[in-house]
Amino acid sequence: MKKIKAYGIVLYKVEEDVIKILLCKSVKSLNKWGCLKGMLINSESTKECAKREFYEECNIDVNTSLFEEYFSQKNKEKDVGVWIVNSNKIKDLDKCFLNDKLFDYYLSWENSKVKFFDINKLPQIKKKQTSIVSDIKDFIQNKSLSH
């Protein structure tokens, strides 16, 4: 059986001294959150997949030239890879959010919520994504401290 490969994007932003990342809660999930991502199809590149899936899940178009660091997590059934992107580089992003929550009309049918969270106050993360979210958190905190 061929292993599923899924790619996506994690937006981050720094507001004053608070670092936030964008996560989603799928309609299937009771209370666990994860990265906006989806499965690789046909002959698309990993970056094309991440861009397409992110757009499908939240209607936000992110140019692949904005992709920064890459993070991956291998699981039994699925390999997951995400790029982080500084949300300040995305034009008119604020119009999609109110109080860090994506307006419902931008949501895909797959997600019940998409929201920015303070990386020091993250919600419960999906078990199969805890490692990747932890790595992203550590990287962004270290990156922010060095500026």
Residue 123: closest CA among 14, 17, 29: 29
Across the chain, which has 147 residues, the per-10-residue mean pLDDT values are: 87 92 91 94 93 96 96 86 96 94 94 95 92 92 68
- Domain membership of residue 72 as a residue range: 4-145
Domain count, the chain: 1
Structure tokens at 98: 């109110």
Q: How many CB atoms lie within 10 A of CB 37?
A: 23
CATH number of domain containing 113: 3.90.79.10
- Rounded-to-integer distance, Cα 87 and Cα 96, Å: 12
- 23 within 8 A of 101, measured Cβ to Cβ: no
Q: What local confidence, expressed as pLDDT, does residue 144 receive?
A: 67
Residue 122: closest CA among 111, 138, 106, 110: 138
Q: What local confidence, expressed as pLDDT, does residue 96 receive?
A: 95
- Rounded-to-integer distance, Cα 145 and Cα 137, Å: 12
What global pTM score does this model have?
A: 0.93
